[in-house]
Chain A
Amino acid sequence: MNSEVSAPARRIGGVMLSVDNISLAFGGVKALTDISFDVREHEVRAIIGPNGAGKSSMLNCINGVYSPQQGRIHFDGQTFSSMDPHKAASMGIARTFQNIALFKGMSVLDNLMTGRNLKMKSSLLAQAFYVGPNRREEIEHREQVEHIIDFLQIESVRKTPVGRLPYGVQKRVELGRALAAEPRLLLLDEPMAGMNIEEKQDMCRFVLDVNDEFGTTIVLIEHDMGVVMDISDRVVVLDYGKKIGDGSPDDVRNNQAVIDAYLGVAH
């Protein structure tokens, strides 16, 4: 009687984003050397590595904050030698930051509304008047934002200024703002840093739910190995700006180079 075709648990598609031989240097410091990997549609891709391995730099290259000296980024059938943040955002790439970058004095709701920025059609001046099409548009955006509030279960703090919220909730709000842009690719820079076990579990659930519900592709940087192994489909390992491993969580776990990078080797 149930005619609904039960979808497979995961529907990972073709390659959506790939980076080819990316190298990035700040003066004499080589942050990234010859990095190549790809991200498939609908997957959860983790980037791990010890401190200073170049993980955040990698994300910054993908969404155009940094311009790599070498290499190519292919996204959505187009090739770039360097991205530009605005272009990246309009192509559907959103991100969260390692250090929370919200507007502390604004309410959760307003912060999420800023995430809709690129989707707003009416001009700055027109937005000042709550009439006609502007009003309809505002209501539409608000509805989208309310869905995200519901999704992230932050109804109780809807109107609370972000600065007054606990850290774990602020992280959630930041994820919410990224989601408000309806991204196809979501870059999460240490979404669970500094959280306690319960907050981490909640965050994992949200990341998986985002992936599941909206089909959003996720690239995340994370230090907690338990989290990475549990929620990601494939893992890239960086160390001193070089890629030392790439594959399923199990492959990576058993990769000698990775073990050495994390536990150290006798010289």
Chain B
Amino acid sequence: MSQPGSNPDADTFPRLLLRHAAVRGERVAIREKDLGIWLSWSWRQVADEVRAAACGLAALGFKRGMSVAIVGDNRPRLYWSMAAAQSLGGIPVPLYQDAVAQEMQFVLEDAEVEFAVVEDQEQVDKLLEIRAKYPNLKHIVYDDSRGLRNYPDPELLSFDRLQDSGREFDRAHPDFYVEEIGLGRADDTAVMLYTSGTTGNPKGVCHSHAALIAASRGDIAFDGFTADDEVLSYLPMAWVGDHLFSYAQAMVAGFCVNCPESSETVLNDLREIGPTYYFAPPRVFENLLTSVTIRMEDAAPFKRSMFHHFMAVAKRCGARIMDGRTSDVGLGERLQYFLGDLLVYGPLRNVLGMSRVRVAYTGGAAIGPDLFDFYRSIGVNLKQLYGQTETAVYVCKQPTGKVKLDTVGTPLPGVEIRIADNGEVQVKTPGMLKEYYKRPDATAESITPDGWFMTGDAGFFDGDGHLKIIDRAKDVGRMNDGTLFAPQYIENKLKFFPHIKEAVAFGNERDLCTAFINIDLGSVGNWAERRGIAYSGYTDLAQKDEVYALIQECVEKVNRDLAADPKLGNSQVRRFLVLHKELDADDGELTRTRKVRRNFIAERYAQLVTALFSGAGHCEVEALVKFEDGRTGMIRADVKIREAGTFPVATERAAA
């Protein structure tokens, strides 16, 4: 019963693939829903498909060391293209599929991409636009031929034709493919993942086969994943998380990856597949919960009261039962929970597609206490992990049964962590990046001479040896009175309220702390409708006095929390405003992974920031917005500013 992945011979992904094809050839490796039907491919079929694609690339002139851009939603053929490129010693470079041509061009030029495998016409159009300015991009292969039939471009090729020519090439050179795989080395670059670029231009993070396989093995051992697990791959392929869960770990453990029909059908597909292992950023869990809450508010009174009753039971004892600490839960409570599981939690898990989930992870951002407890209390083993693109997300994970809300868990096997003098977390991990592509300067800046990766996050270990992350190290500042100012910490606390979608806190080198708020249109809109408050759209709703009162309550609750912490107590939010427009990645205000770009926002809304600190009661503002079709327009608004109540700071010094 040895795990095929643990065989030392299989030290690159193409070799792992061949091994799976030999050991578990008939088992399902990947599924895709197409025309309403789940289609599946066995490991043997996948190996054949990859072989044909690889030979096709070789026939087009693909050479060892070249890179292939991969652009599109999660599609089997795009994953196969990655394996095909790796088989030839090439480097797949997955890109975010919703990036505009301009953003893609930078990455394509930086990675010197000559080949691209893309999903559909939308992406082909973008790449053709880029090729006008970057002629080195030679071959574009597409998966879905819809709308492309009459493109006269000779360098444009369908995936089927790529494979056809590959099979021909394979017949002419039958040893080629296996020889190429034989030439691969474990320390070759396996993939290049571009960082989202919170600061400056994106950088290409190069990971070797060895690092990704080591990180995957560690994860698999830690959580006991086997070839029987199922995952749904629906997160952007360019994101390190998806690459690990849907590609690297699947290749190592040999479990089945399911590709949804389209990005809009994910919820439904999730329910049909019932994955056993699930990963989502907090935002996805939040959206799921919001949709459940909204639907429950509209449910019949009986159902609603049943839901609320059993959710209260779950809140009292669900998490403890989850952690196996049943000894301190009374028999009555356990009986109630059992009943609740039958009537509410079970059906709810089913609706959420989490009936079979054994392990669910979240990470990448802090998760709200209510949100986290909600999932755990209804019996979903949701845990947090910590890592970044550069460490192949292999740093910390919460062990099952030892989950704490405000930490990211304990170091994983083989990981060493130290806290630098400035509070920065530094790590040594098997999943360490090889380098930043063509950026020795950046590589030197992030890895210390003695081999520690500088995460840039500020944090500390708590009494139980769990790592607690508070903010980006460089963002942690000080207010004029010397109080620690951790903007993200405050923003996250604000965002934990369902009514608040985004928040941006200001206060570094200031006398007081202030914040911009973005309301959640779905949640606040629903709240307003139930109270009969008429509004015409986001801008109108955002400036309602009732909404300000609602948000003020949230801000004051956050202030009460902050006041309890002597280190952060003085950074309570004194004044806030609700922004007149939603922060948007298209306007550059958020990164593609939806993190706020604080400095950019501060510059762009300098007027508002000044008004927040000047004591004004309102401020007129104009903002340029970019519509989805690329046109721009102006939004003009008069934004109100409110004060929020603050609380006396706890005086006793907590042990640091």
Contacts and interface: CB of A to CB of B under 8 A. Distances in A.
B35 A143 contact: yes
Nearest to B144: A150
A198 B151 CA distance: 24
B172 to A, nearest CB: 14
B262 A155 contact: yes
Interface string A34-50: 00000000000000000
Nearest to B157: A2
25 contacts: A1-B59, A2-B157, A2-B161, A4-B161, A6-B150, A6-B151, A6-B152, A6-B154, A7-B149, A7-B152, A8-B150, A9-B150, A146-B35, A147-B35, A149-B35, A150-B34, A155-B36, A155-B264, A155-B265, A156-B262, A197-B629, A198-B628, A209-B147, A212-B150, A213-B146
Nearest to A10: B150
**A contact face: mostly helix, strand, loop, or mixed:** helix
A147 B37 CA distance: 12
B377 interface: no
B59 to A, nearest CB: 8
B149 to A, nearest CB: 7
B629 A198 contact: yes
A158 B36 contact: yes
A151 interface: yes
Given A2-B154, A155-B36, A198-B628, A213 B149 contact: yes
Contacts of B268: 156
Interface string A9-45: 1100000000000000000000000000000000000
Interface string A151-182: 10101101000000000000000000000000
Contacts of A69: none
A213 B151 CA distance: 12
B347 to A, nearest CB: 19
B158 to A, nearest CB: 9
B165 interface: yes
A197 B628 CA distance: 10
A212 B146 CA distance: 9
Contacts of B264: 155-156
B600 to A, nearest CB: 26
A146 B261 CA distance: 12
- Point out which of A6, A9, A147 has the most chain B C-beta atoms below 10 A from its C-beta: A6
Given A2-B157, A146-B36, A150-B35, A156 B149 contact: no
Contacts of A6: 150-154
A9 B152 contact: yes
A147 B144 CA distance: 13
Given A149-B35, A155-B264, A201-B629, 15 more contacts: A1-B59, A2-B155, A4-B161, A6-B153, A7-B150, A7-B152, A10-B150, A143-B35, A155-B265, A156-B265, A197-B627, A212-B147, A212-B149, A213-B146, A213-B147
B373 to A, nearest CB: 30
A109 to B, nearest CB: 8
A184 B268 CA distance: 35
Interface in B615-650: 627-629
A151 B146 contact: yes
Contacts of B627: 197
Interface string A136-154: 0000001100110111010
A213 B146 CA distance: 7
B268 to A, nearest CB: 7
Interface string B453-488: 000000000000000000000000000000000000
Contacts of B628: 198
B36 A149 contact: yes
User: What are the 6 A-B residue pairs with the smallest beta carbon separation, nearest first?
Assistant: A156-B264, A146-B35, A6-B152, A156-B265, A2-B154, A155-B261
B577 to A, nearest CB: 29
A189 B264 CA distance: 29
**How many interface residues does chain B have, given as a range?**
20 to 34
B114 to A, nearest CB: 16
Nearest to A9: B150
Contacts of B36: 142, 146, 149, 155, 158
Interface in B245-268: 261-262, 264-265, 268
B203 to A, nearest CB: 33
Which of A153, A156, A198, A213 is the most central at the interface, judged by chain B CB atoms within 10 Å of its CB?
A: A156
Interface size class of A (residues with CB under 8 A): 20 to 34
A205 B36 CA distance: 23
Contacts of A201: 629
A153 B629 contact: no
Nearest to A2: B154
A156 B267 CA distance: 9
Contacts of A147: 35
A203 to B, nearest CB: 14
A209 B150 contact: no
Contacts of A156: 261-262, 264-265, 268
B249 to A, nearest CB: 27
Nearest to B33: A155
Contacts of B261: 155-156
A213 B150 CA distance: 9
Contacts of B152: 6-7, 9
B521 to A, nearest CB: 16
Nearest to A1: B165
Interface string B291-308: 000000000000000000
A73 to B, nearest CB: 31
A155 B629 CA distance: 23
Nearest to A208: B147
B199 to A, nearest CB: 32
Interface in A227-259: none
Interface in B504-521: none
Interface in B66-102: none
A8 B628 CA distance: 30
Nearest to B264: A156
B263 to A, nearest CB: 9
A132 to B, nearest CB: 21
B469 to A, nearest CB: 36
B262 A153 contact: yes
A81 to B, nearest CB: 38
Contacts of A4: 161
Contacts of B35: 143, 146-147, 149-150
Interface in B158-205: 161, 165
Contacts of A212: 147, 149-150
A149 B37 CA distance: 13
B507 to A, nearest CB: 38
Interface in A30-78: none
Nearest to B36: A146
Contacts of A155: 36, 261-262, 264-265
A143 to B, nearest CB: 7
Contacts of A9: 150, 152
A10 B150 CA distance: 8
Contacts of B153: 6
B36, B149, B161, B264: most-surrounded residue (chain A CB, <10 A): B36
A196 to B, nearest CB: 11
A2 B59 CA distance: 12
A255 B147 CA distance: 33
Name the residue among B35, B264, B629 with the largest chain A CB count within 10 angstroms. Answer: B35
Nearest to B59: A1
Interface in B27-63: 34-37, 59
Contacts of A213: 146-147, 149
A138 B629 CA distance: 40
A142 B36 CA distance: 10
B60 to A, nearest CB: 8
Contacts of A2: 154-155, 157, 161
Nearest to B628: A198
